[in-house]
Amino acid sequence: MSTILVFGASGQLGQCLAHVARERHTPGMVYLAEEQGNILDPAGLAALFAEYRPAYVINCAAYTAVDKAEDEVDLARRINRDGVENLARLCGEHGTVLIQISTDFVFAGTGNQPLLETDETAPISVYGLTKLEGEQVIPPLTSRYFILRTSWLYSEFAGNFVKTMLKLGRERDELRVIWDQAGTPTYAIDLAGCILHLIETESQAFGLYHYSNEGLTSWYDFATAIFALSGMAVKTIPIRTSEYPTKATRPLYSVMDKTLAKTALGIQIPHWRASLKVCLERLGAAE
């Protein structure tokens, strides 16, 4: 039986992987929280590889505090670049397939057309820059990798935009939400399913891919949909990004083209509204 090591297993995507793997009865999954699998500890990682001899490594470990990263540049870089480099080196040495999760924040977000994997990257935040650096350290160390860029992750696990909106919607009658940032929400359960599909099909179509749900929306329209599907009478007021200043700059347009993932990997991707409804039903929030 092949072993699949999941780093960062206590985070949102790690929990979603565990949930989907249980549903699919996926064998060989080993979930490592930071205490068991510190990607900044080369010696500890070497011991894990020697013990488990993994066929796959899924790296869900990341520094994702976008605004804090502006002040914690070194820490963000160590986790998002150096930790990935440690994993990629060992994967190369052991013939292990690395599945690395990246982000739409590698783009500047100044365009208005769905972004291809070949489009120029130009991150405008420390988070985006360090995640891009994490992508770049992989190819020199191993050819057996999948890099999946994703966006706007949410699920019934951990903290995320959907759960925050539901909480605030119970407390307030009115919310101001940004309308001039366009992207695509991604149900982390769907992303977990895509990752396990790569493993189950033993795909050899290694490389860089975009994965989010289908369609596009703004944070304002996303919030409005959350309340509508949940039957919550919350008035949403659209505001511009400039009215809600943050430490880190966000891409204004980060809708990604998923054609390559659908054709090369043979996956089907649900529309974001359909997946949102599933998530809300599982949270017990849908009408």
182-183 and 217-218: which strand pairing?
antiparallel
37 CB contacts (<8 Å, ≥6 apart)?
Answer: 5, 7, 8, 9, 44, 45, 48, 61
22 is written with which tokens?
Answer: 């249980």
Helix axes 12-24 and 188-200, enclosed angle (nearest 10)? 50
Amino acid at 51: E
CA distances from 17 to 32, 147, 199, 234 (A): 12, 16, 12, 32
Of 127, 145, 187, 220, catalytic: 127
Helix (H) or strand (E) holding 272: helix 272-283
Amino acid at 102: S
11 CB contacts (<8 Å, ≥6 apart)?
Answer: 60, 61, 62, 64, 158
Q: Is 127 considered catalytic here?
A: yes
Distance CA 227, CA 216 (A): 18
Catalytic residues: 127
